[in-house]
């Protein structure tokens, strides 16, 4: 499976998860507002119906009181006042009935019709006399009062029935709201479970993919490190071979050439001044070439590192560095460092060589100290200079010299530390495993 396909699948999974979260959030908000509005509308409708029924009751009671007062009032001059009050009560009742008509459901319409008929039946006797003249006969008054009481009771009973219907309708709305909330709660659990499952699946795939990338990266780094180590070994072997070829073959040839030129420098050669001058110039070129070849051989890999050991090679290196760069190098060697393995010798020599080069080229050091110490199970080396130093945290990238030192030390399971501050020089510390000891010297110091 290619990396691009995995990333496409992970991207689609993340997009689907975001879509589910978005739908989940929007649905939750919408359903919450819908349920709240539904319940609020139900309570508002119930309140309006209750207010309308209460108004109708109040109007019926007021109409009954008005009728009683009218029947019992002997003053005929008060009739117009009773008529005005009755008209107001009748109009108020009509408004309440219209309100109920607008609020009640079709199932409740028959109850409303019966209530309207009872109310109109209760109100109609009050409107029998257009001039609202008082009725003087006692029995007639008593009969009308009894009739009004019965009609008012029927109307009030219908109002109570409507109120019960309103309460039942509110209870039904509450039940529907609870059912809707339960359904919505199940939907929320379903969405949450789906989102959680998809999130865990994507997280698992991401972790698996990242772990696979890490393993791939670790494998690639290990292969690159092995390749680097192999290249370093091949480079050291080639340097050793080229150095020996230059020292043995080319050096011997130049030495023979110089000897032959010395043999030509006899009495016969001095008889010809021009020939003698050319012969001397050729001898100087041959000697210079021989020195150059030997310096190249020593720079590539000093033969004394393989033949005599680490101590002579480091002393020669410190001496040559001081001569070339006019920077004194203080060298201190403690213990038998010449008996360590070839890998340890080569690593220490190359690290010291690179540290000296960096101190001269980049640090503008005026003095350098090199300390090598052999202990029971390891060899430690410290290279210090008084140069300008640097801040490792502000380096955009490490140079090839530092990377080369780290790779050489890591190859033989050693450790390397670099401590530096601007204006306070640089200190490089390495520790390499070297458990085998063939002989122990007390102390060897050289500067």
Residues 292-322 have pLDDT tens digits of: 877 777 777 777 787 888 888 899 889 888 9
Instruction: Count helices and strands (H / E) in the chain.
Output: 11, 6
Region of 4 (left: φ > 0; alpha: ψ -120 to 50; beta: rest) is alpha
Three-class DSSP labels, 116-169? HHHHHHHHHHHHCCCCCCCCCCHHHHHHHHHHHHHHHHHHHHHHHHHHHHHHHH
CA dist., res. 294 & res. 241, Å (int): 14
Region of 334 (left: φ > 0; alpha: ψ -120 to 50; beta: rest) is beta
CA dist., res. 343 & res. 341, Å (int): 5
**C-alpha torsion angle, residues 196, 198, 199, 205 (rounded to 10):** 140
Q: What is the pLDDT of residue 445?
A: 36
Instruction: Read off the DSSP letter of residue 248.
Output: I
Residue labelled with tokens 């696979």:
212
Q: Where in the chain is the domain with CATH 1.20.120?
A: 3-205
431 near 422, Cβ under 8 Å? no
Q: What is the pLDDT of residue 133?
A: 47
Answer yes or no: is pLDDT of 371 > 90.
yes
Average pLDDT, the chain: 76
Q: What is the pLDDT of residue 372?
A: 92
Beta-strand pair 368-374/329-334: parallel
Answer yes or no: is pLDDT of 199 > 60.
yes
Q: Where in the chain is the domain with CATH 3.30.565.10?
A: 307-445
Mean pLDDT, rounded, for 183-204: 79
Mean pLDDT, rounded, for 238-246: 75
How does pLDDT run across 248-261, given as a tens digit for each residue?
777 778 788 778 77
The arrangement of secondary structure in 3-205, i.e. its CATH architecture, is Up-down Bundle (1.20)
The region of weakest confidence among 73-82, 167-176, 231-240 is 73-82
Q: How confident is the model at residue 145 (pLDDT cuts 50, 70, 90)?
A: low
Answer yes or no: is pLDDT of 135 > 50.
no
Cα angle 74, 75, 76 (rounded to 5 degrees) comes to: 110
The region of weakest confidence among 11-20, 323-332, 385-394, 432-441 is 432-441
The region of weakest confidence among 6-15, 127-136, 154-163 is 127-136
How does pLDDT run across 51-100, given as a tens digit for each residue?
887 887 787 777 777 776 766 666 666 667 777 887 888 888 888 888 87
Residue labelled with tokens 């309570």:
43
Region of 326 (left: φ > 0; alpha: ψ -120 to 50; beta: rest) is left
Mean pLDDT, rounded, for 119-147: 54
What H or E segment, with its residue span, contains residue 352? helix 342-361
What is the CATH number assigned to the segment(s) 307-445?
A: 3.30.565.10
């Amino acid at each position: 499976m290619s990396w691009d396909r995995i990333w496409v699948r992970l991207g689609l999974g993340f997009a689907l998860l975001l879509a589910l979260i978005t739908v989940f959030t929007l649905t939750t908000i919408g359903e919450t507002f819908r349920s709240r509005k539904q319940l609020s509308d139900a309570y508002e409708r119930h309140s309006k119906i209750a207010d309308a029924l209460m108004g109708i009751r109040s109007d019926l009671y007021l109409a009954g009181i008005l009728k009683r007062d009218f029947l019992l009032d002997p003053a005929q001059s008060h009739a117009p006042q009773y008529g005005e009050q009755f008209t107001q009560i009748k109009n108020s009742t009509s408004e309440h009935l219209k309100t109920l008509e607008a609020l009640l459901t079709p199932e409740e319409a028959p109850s409303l019709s019966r209530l309207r008929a009872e109310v109109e039946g209760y109100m109609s006797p009050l409107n029998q006399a257009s001039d609202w003249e008082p009725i003087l006969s006692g029995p007639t008054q008593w009969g009308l009062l009894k009739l009004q009481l019965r009609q008012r009771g029927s109307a009030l009973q219908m109002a109570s029935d409507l109120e019960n219907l309103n309460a039942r309708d509110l209870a039904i709305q509450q039940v529907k709201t609870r059912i809707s909330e339960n359904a919505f709660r199940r939907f929320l659990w379903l969405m949450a479970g789906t989102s959680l499952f998809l999130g865990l699946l994507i997280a698992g795939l991401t972790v698996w993919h990242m772990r696979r990338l890490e393993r791939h990266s670790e494998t690639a780094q290990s292969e690159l490190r092995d390749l680097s180590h192999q290249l370093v070994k091949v480079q050291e072997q080639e340097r050793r071979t080229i150095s020996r070829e230059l020292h043995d073959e080319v050096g011997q040839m130049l030495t023979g050439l110089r000897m032959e030129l010395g043999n030509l420098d006899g009495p016969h050669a001095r008889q010809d001044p021009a020939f003698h001058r050319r012969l001397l110039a050729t001898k100087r070129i041959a000697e210079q070439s021989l020195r150059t070849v030997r310096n190249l051989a020593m720079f590539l890999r000093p033969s004394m590192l393989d033949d005599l050991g680490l101590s002579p090679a480091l002393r020669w290196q410190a001496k040559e560095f001081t001569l070339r760069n006019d920077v004194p190098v203080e060298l201190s060697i403690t213990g038998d460092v010449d008996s360590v393995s070839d890998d340890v010798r080569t690593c220490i020599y190359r690290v010291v060589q690179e540290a000296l080069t960096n101190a001269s080229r980049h640090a503008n050091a005026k003095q350098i100290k090199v300390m090598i110490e052999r202990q029971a199970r390891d060899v430690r080396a410290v290279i210090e200079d008084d140069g300008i130093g640097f801040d490792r945290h502000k380096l955009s990238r490490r140079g090839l010299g530092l990377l080369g030192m780290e790779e050489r030390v890591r190859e033989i399971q050693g450790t390397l530390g670099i401590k530096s501050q601007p204006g306070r020089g640089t200190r490089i510390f390495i520790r390499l495993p070297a458990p085998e000891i063939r002989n122990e010297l007390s102390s060897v110091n050289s500067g």
